[in-house]
Every structure is written in C-alpha cells, then in structure tokens.
Amino acid sequence: MPRALFAIASLATLLAVGSTTVPLASADTPASAPSVATSAAPGTAAAQSTDGASVIAATIDDLQSWWAQQLPDVYSRDYEPIPDNRLIAYSESDPPPACGGRGTTPYQEVAGNAFYCSEGDFIAWDEQVLFPRLERKFGSFAVALVLAHEWGHAIQARTNTSLNATVYLETQADCFAGSWARHVEHDDVSLSIGRVDRDIALAGFLEFRDPPGVDPSQQGAHGNAFDRVSAFQDGFDDGTDRCARYESNPPEVTETGFSSQEEYASGGDLPLDETIKLLRPDLDDYWSIELDGASPVKDVVSDSGSSCDGTSDGGVLVDDVTYCTSDDVVHYDTGALERIYEASGDFGAGMVLAAAWSSGALDQMGRSVTSDAAHTRADCLTGSWAGDVARGVRARDRGNDAISLSPGDLDEGIATFVSLGEGNGGAFARVAAFRKGFFKGTGACTA
C-alpha cells in the first residue's frame, strides 16, 4: 500500500556499521515484533532458560561438526573450526575485542547485537542483553539461530565468498541458518533446546529486519523480514547447496527505499476504509486477468447483518472474514479487520481481504474452498496477487492508479501470518505457500 504502518526507525543508525564487523541486525534498536502465536509457552521458555549456557555450548558443538561435513560436501574444502577462544560472549563490563585493531570495541556500539569479525575470525554476542531477551521472548532456539547466522559469515570468510551487497551476505547467512535448522529438525539433533520451532524463526526475523525504507544496495543492509525469511526458507527447503549458489544466482530482494521524502516523512498507513476502497478494484482487476474476465467476488459486505446461506470458506486467515460460495460475497467483521489493521498495518488487513478473493478465485476454478489444502492454495494465490502488486507491472501497463506496496508492507504480511497463521500447518508453512505464489504466480498455486 502506498503507506506503511511501522514506525520508521532512525536511518542514521544504519550507517554505523563497520566494514569488517558483520552484526546480526543493522539497527541498534530492533523493530518491534508482534506477539507470537507459537507453541513457545512461557513455561517452556522458562524451563529452557535455566541452562542457557548448555544450549549455547551444544549449538556451537553441533555447528562445528555440521560444517565439518557440509563444507567438504558443498564447497569441496575442509572446514577449519572456529577455536573456542574466538567464540566470545560480551557484556558492558566485559566488552568484545576490537575488530581489526587493538583493545576492545565499546559496548555501546554492539549492545543488543551479535557479530562476526573477519579480521580476527571471531564470533561475538551480547550475553547481557541480546541472548537473555531472545530467550525470554522466543525461547532457546532463537539464540541458536543467531549463532547459526553468525557462523554463516565465518563460512563466507572461509570460502572467500564475495557478493556485491551486504544484503546478499546477510541473506546467505540466513540461508545457511535455515539449512542448519533443517538438519537439527530432521537429524533429530539433541540440543536441549526443545523442539525446533520454525514459527519462532519467523518472529525472530521480524525482530532483526531492517526498518522499512532501507535501500538494499547500501552498506549494512540486511534485508526486510520477507527477504530474510525467504532466504531462511531457501536453506530449510533446499539445503546448503542453494545458499552456496547465492554467489552466482542471488535471490530476488524485495526491500526498497522510500520513493520520496514525502513517503519517508509520512510513514503511516492508509486509513482502513481507504485501504478497502483501493483494494477492491485492484483485486477485481487482478483476478479478471487471471481468470479470463471472470469476476470471483460480486460484493463485499461488512458486519454480521447478512450471513452466508451456503458454503463459506470458513475464513482463510480469520474466522470472521469469509468468502461465501453461494452468492460470491465477501463478508467481513469490521471489528476483526480493525484489530488486524492495528496489529499488522494496512497490508495486513488487505491481505486478509485478498485471501477471501483467493477463495473466490478457487471457487471460480471449480476447486474446493473449505479444506486445509484449499486454504494453503488461497495463501499461495494471495502471494501471487501480492507479487503482482509488488512488481507494479500491471499498474504500469493499465495506467490506473492501482495500489502499490510501501517499504514495510511485505513485512506486515509476515507479521500477519505470525500472529494469525497458527492453524493449517503453522505460520512457517503458510509463509512458504505465500512466497510460492509471490515468486511463481497463480499457476504454481493450483498445479
């Protein structure tokens, strides 16, 4: 949408990235993530936190042995382990070594962060603020993933990987972390971290994403949450091989800078009613092209005044925004939509409505709209629409003032899946379906 909801963090913080230090996140203050609808019950996290040190030790052990096997397999070279004395926990009273110099790095520069330093070949993390916060908020697996990401940078140093923008180095490190996470899950590695929670990984990327509006070509850019999640899923789905190929075949990056000072300055969302007003013709237009002129949705009706007499899709993302097959009407509860808008911005609310159009499209194709598989297809079709909007080709071709995406919008989409996507396979699987449509179009969703 033309405006993004998320408050815009100071862009100045992004410039403070040293050329040899590779921090976990570019901003000193992470963006706020929505509440996480995952299985990480507070009790579980508390139980895990009693032995945070053992989680770190077990993660490090496993990363060393996993890379000792992966590096020869994928890069045909032997792995040189990172010695214990170059795995450094730091705090305000015990700051990390300087990266590329003598003495220490001032704690203030790296507070709440973690980084790999290529000059000293060391990984360092804030054990005072970062790890306790991650563990409290997401559980131990988030801590393990931070280490896996930083390890990815150590691998880049060992393989002399050169990519022409930091965003590719960062997403490749995320990809490596995804490949490692799959190994932990599939090889049933005992890390004393509880089960691998992919949805926690999603929520974590919302925490460490760049703030909206970062130009991905700028030094220090890490990618928005959508890009980082995409990379993580690349690794999770296709393994370390895929990550290695980023060097010759980098992934599509969706992060964009603000298109104008005005857009940067406003930083707010479109109002909800305006969002709905703009969305309807855009969704109608998109689906009429995809469905050869057919129009899957005849009307959009708010509130419970009218109900669906026939079959409804049951709500793809929420129960109270539904598509009704008997009259091709989208019904939505205003309060529910407002809550989503408040939590996840205009694109979050728009995506929930777009999902109803996706059911309409499936109905038009003579497919089921009610099963779990149908909802997965709807997630995918919603992604195909979002991809079309993001690329803006249709808007340009048709010369209408169709909607466009603002920096931050796709991350609102990730946030929506994180907060609403606990059903039907979980947020991670649903984002994967959305991405499939986003990158491959409607045909990939219904094949």
- 165, 173, 390, 432: which one contacts Zn ion (CB under 5 A)? 173
Location of structure tokens 């704690």? 107
Closest distance of CB 125 from Zn ion, Å: 12
The residue (of 127 and 170) whose beta carbon lies closer to Zn ion is: 170
Pairing relation of β-strands 122-126 and 321-324? unpaired
Question: Where in 379-408 is the site for Zn ion (CB under 5 A)?
Answer: none
Helices (H), 159-259: 166-186, 198-208, 225-238, 240-244
Tell me how far apart the alpha carbons of residues 210 and 216 are, in angstroms, rounded to a whole number. Answer: 9
The residue (of 127 and 282) whose beta carbon lies closer to Zn ion is: 127
For 323, phi then psi, to 5°, come to -110, 130
Beta strands in 285-328 (DSSP E): 299-302, 321-324
- 28, 126, 127, 170: which one contacts Zn ion (CB under 5 A)? 170
Closest distance of CB 176 from Zn ion, Å: 10
Burial classification of residue 350, based on how many CB atoms lie within 10 Å of its CB (0-12 exposed, 13-18 middle, 19 or more buried): buried
Closest distance of CB 437 from Zn ion, Å: 28
From residue 162, alpha-carbon distances to 19, 173, 211, 242 in Å are: 14, 13, 25, 16
Question: Where in 22-41 is the site for Zn ion (CB under 5 A)?
Answer: 22
Closest distance of CB 28 from Zn ion, Å: 15
Site mask for Zn ion (CB under 5 A), range 5-24, x = bound: -----------------x--
The residue (of 9 and 173) whose beta carbon lies closer to Zn ion is: 173
Closest distance of CB 417 from Zn ion, Å: 23
How big is the site for Zn ion, counted in residues (CB under 5 A)? 3
Residue 170 DSSP SS3: helix
The span of 13-21, 137-145, 167-175, 296-304 binding Zn ion (CB under 5 A) equals 167-175
- The one-letter amino acid code at 337 reads L
- CA-nearest of 297, 363, 302, 361 to 332 is 302
The residue (of 125 and 385) whose beta carbon lies closer to Zn ion is: 125
The residue (of 22 and 352) whose beta carbon lies closer to Zn ion is: 22
Binding residues for Zn ion, rule: CB under 5 A, are: 22, 170, 173
